[in-house]
């Protein structure tokens, strides 16, 4: 019975996942925070073979598209790794949140 429980626990431990944060970075947060915006990208990786990180390049355009008439400020990025099935398959996920601030343009003398 104990042998069976030991084998069962070892077999199921390889099927469980694990998540970790690789890095976090933040730009200066503005005092005025009008609209929060968010972009997220992920990539599934098999056997640890990851040849590029191009999947995150579109995030900049996503953030700009959510703030067409303003300026993106106070960006917080998180780079996460999520391990899946027997650690042969894992996912890299990058999440960026920030604030879209529209600045009112005032004309002096008019």
Q: Is 28 helix (H, G, I), strand (E, B) or coil?
A: coil
Q: What is the pTM of this model?
A: 0.69
Q: Is 96 exposed, middle or buried (0-12, 13-18, 19+ CB in 10 A)?
A: buried
Selection from 61, 50, 63 nearest residue 22 by Cα: 50
Q: pLDDT tens digits, residue range 46-65?
A: 887 878 878 888 888 999 99
Residue numbers of the chain with a pLDDT score lower than 70: 4-23, 85-87, 104-110
Contacts of 46 (CB under 8 A, 6+ apart): 88, 89
Are 82 and 90 in contact by the 8 Å Cβ rule? The answer is yes
User: What mean pLDDT, rounded, does the chain reach?
Assistant: 78
């Amino acid at each position: 019975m104990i042998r069976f429980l030991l084998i069962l626990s070892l077999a199921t431990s390889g099927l469980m996942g694990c998540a970790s944060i690789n890095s976090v970075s933040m730009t200066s947060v503005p005092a005025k925070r009008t609209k929060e915006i968010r972009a997220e990208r992920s990539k599934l990786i098999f056997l640890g073979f990851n040849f590029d990180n191009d999947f995150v390049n579109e995030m900049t355009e996503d953030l700009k598209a959510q703030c067409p008439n303003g300026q993106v400020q106070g960006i917080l990025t998180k780079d996460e790794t999520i391990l899946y099935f027997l650690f042969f398959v894992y996912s890299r996920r990058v999440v960026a949140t920030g604030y879209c601030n529209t600045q009112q343009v005032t004309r002096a003398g008019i």
